[in-house]
Amino acid sequence: MNLPDGHLLQNGKYRLTHVVGQGGFGITYRGVWYTEVKGSLGTVKTEVPICVKEYFFKDYCYREPGSQAVKVHSETGKVLFNKFKEKLIKEAKILSEVHHPYIVNVLEVFEENNTAYIAMEYISGFSLKYMLEKNGILPEATVLKYVRQIGEALQFVHDKSILHLDIKPSNILIDKNGNARLIDFGVSKRYDIEQEETSTTMLTLSKGFASIEQYDNEGTQVFSPRPDIYSLGATMYNLLTGTIPTESILRAARPLRNPSEINAAISPKTEAVIIKAMQIIPADRFETVGEMLASLDFSQAEKEVQVVPNPSPEIVNEETTVVYSSPVDSKLVGSDDEETVVNMANPPAVEPITEKNNSRKKIIPIGIAIFVVVGSATALLVHSNRPTKEVVESIDLPSAVEPDSNVSKEVEMPDHAVLHTEPPISEIKEAEKQEPQVEEKRPMETEHTIEENVLPDQPSENEMNEKYNSLIASGKEKMAKADYSGAKKDLSEAKDTKLTEEVVRLIIACDEKTEEKRIADKKALYEEKMAFGRYKIVRKKSNNRYGAIDSKAEERIPCKYLSVGIADNGRAFEREDNLFDIYNSDGSLISEGLTYY
């Protein structure tokens, strides 16, 4: 099924050295890019390490013997194969134009062997998933450092109307310099000027990390950073607790535990950010990644380069698109969302330590038992006014140990220490005085606790269901009348009464309608003229001045200009002083105060 080692692509430009990973939709190869570098000594041929991902829909495809061409078994499969191949090529070409220090670089996208290939830079390092498996829960300062870097990368792609939609520890690599790199845009989506979906791949989810709206094909048809914000929060949750969060669509029946209940060392501020980022209702999350980052305290974030373990043979997780040199375990960290990662160690090295510890565990209780026997006997004899010396001589230690036939010979070592550990008479008398007081207090404390824990009568299940159904019906009725604020109030109360998938979806729909109405009302303040990149050139009705707005009717070019014209490198906006400011299609001011254009 795989291409053979040494196979050449693009007329010898790329050579595949070996397979490093394979999933349901592609095969990842380690390879070499033969290129030339020009310098002071002339042109020098060199080999650059790369990764190449081949689109291979394994449930529908096979490789033709001899030609290495990818073929499809059926006509139905052929339609699906070609559809997703076109989308993959389109997405990869978009990403080949996206360059950011914390995002893997796509070098080239091309077709060959009746399929598509993506050539990417090779990153030597480890995924956060691997680090979690190997070292256990990560320090909060380390997590914050990586979250800040990935957050900056997400802000960059969000500004270009691209959603990643698969943020998770296995899709974040830590390179040799200790910096985080975001990989695998295989399920990403790009949106046009109206913020409506223009490109997508198949519906793919990572359980525990995907937001509830990703379970619905229509849930991400309109651009919003909130699905990626949820996944970034879930990634923080996983790295700081070692537990994969409860799947979003199941949280109505299985509420998410607070991170501090699993790891008490998590700071309240970080926990609050995680909880808000992972709200079921999208509108309850942060509006942008920038807002989320601004709520975190990075003062303790580690600035040093992280020490990365020495790499072993290359293995790549089948979910990732970029190889990293690491012995990644094939099992998913905490595949059960209740599983907690523990510090993993080499079994042969652990066994002798365990045996030794077990021996000590046997010795300690025996030693304590002997001490109790000695102490009790001593207290009894002292109370009877007998000499302390006689107490020690009268104790038959072997008889105290004898009933436990499994006691190791090592028990003899602490026996002498116990003999010489006689409690002072003053301490014994003090203990006698305190014992009655403790016994007298216990019933009072129990009584007091019982009184405090008395709870008021709770509504019955039928009463709760009736209240829930009434609120849902009221909410739907108000939505039909476009009373979205009233509907949101009823639906929120219904959610507090009983959390169900139905009420969550209704609240999401209500929020979307509210946002649509808000945007429509804002757009009504402008007269749209023409498209300009991702924006619209408009005339503001209140002052009759020109500018540009985005899909949410936010002014990207201020509406303060007398007129607008076409310039060589963008649009020329005429100022009050009859000079011109030139803007490019990203809304950036590139020249100002020009006399002509």
DSSP notation for 371-429: HHHHHHHHHHHHHTT--HHHHHHH--HHHHHTT-TT--GGGHHHHHHHHT-PPPHHHHH
- Sequence spans of domains, the chain: 8-121, 126-294, 347-450, 461-519, 526-594
**Torsion angle of C-alpha atoms 403, 405, 407, 412, degrees rounded to 10:** 70
Burial (CB < 10 A; 0-12, 13-18, 19+), residue 524, is exposed
Report the pLDDT value the prediction gives residue 76, as an integer from 0 to 100.
Answer: 78
Report the pLDDT value the prediction gives residue 457, as an integer from 0 to 100.
Answer: 67
**Torsion angle of C-alpha atoms 196, 199, 203, 209, degrees rounded to 10:** -70
Q: Indicate the fold that domain 126-294 takes in CATH.
A: Transferase(Phosphotransferase); domain 1 (1.10.510)
CB-based contact 126:171 (threshold 8 Å) = no
Could you give phi then psi for residue 320, rounded to 5 degrees? -90, 160
Which SS3 state, helix, strand or coil, does residue 357 take? Answer: helix
| Ordered mean pLDDT values, 10 residues apiece, the chain (597 residues) | 92 94 85 84 85 88 88 85 84 80 91 94 90 95 96 93 91 93 81 55 76 81 91 98 94 91 96 97 94 92 53 42 35 37 37 40 46 47 43 39 39 38 44 46 45 62 90 94 92 87 86 89 94 93 96 93 93 95 92 90
Task: Report how far residue 351's alpha carbon sits from residue 356's, in angstroms, rounded to the nearest whole number.
Answer: 9
Token digits of residue 83: 């559809």
Residue labelled with tokens 């199941």: 250
Report the pLDDT value the prediction gives residue 79, as an integer from 0 to 100.
Answer: 86
- The CB density around residue 76, as the number of other CB atoms within 10 Å, is 10
Report the pLDDT value the prediction gives residue 504, as an integer from 0 to 100.
Answer: 83
Of the candidates 208, 213, 207, the residue with the CA atom closest to the CA atom of residue 501: 213
Handedness of CA 249, 252, 255, 256 (dihedral sign): positive
Sheet containing 14-22: give its strands across.
Answer: 8-9, 14-22, 26-39, 42-55, 115-121, 106-112
Report the pLDDT value the prediction gives residue 180, as an integer from 0 to 100.
Answer: 96
Q: Tell me if 8-121 shares its fold with 126-294.
A: no
pTM of the model: 0.58
Of the candidates 426, 404, 415, 419, the residue with the CA atom closest to the CA atom of residue 374: 419
Domain 8-121 CATH superfamily? Phosphorylase Kinase; domain 1 (3.30.200.20)
